[in-house]
Amino acid sequence: MPPSTGTPRARSGALKRWLRRIRVLLLLLPLLIAAGIALYVVGTLHFSYSTGDRAGYVQKFSKKGWVCKTWEGELAMVSLPGTAPEIFAFSVRDEATAAEINRHIGERLALTYEQHKGVPSCFAESEYFVVKVRPLQP
What is the DSSP code string of 37-54?
HHHHHHHHHHS-SEEEEE
What pLDDT does residue 91 have?
93
**Which pTM does this prediction carry?**
0.71
Query: pLDDT for 82-107, tens place per residue?
Result: 788 899 999 998 999 999 999 998 88
What pLDDT does residue 1 have?
47
The torsion angles phi and psi of 45, rounded to 5 degrees, stand at: -85, -25
Confidence of residue 63 (pLDDT cuts 50, 70, 90): very high
For 119-127, what is the mean pLDDT? 79
Query: pLDDT for 3-52, tens place per residue?
Result: 555 566 667 778 888 888 888 888 888 888 888 888 887 777 778 888 99
Q: Is the pLDDT of residue 73 over 90?
A: yes
Q: Which long-range contacts (CB under 8 A, 24 or more apart) does 37-46 make?
A: 40/118, 41/120, 41/123, 44/116, 44/117, 44/118, 44/119, 44/120, 45/116, 45/119, 45/123
Residues 70, 125: contact at Cβ < 8 Å? yes
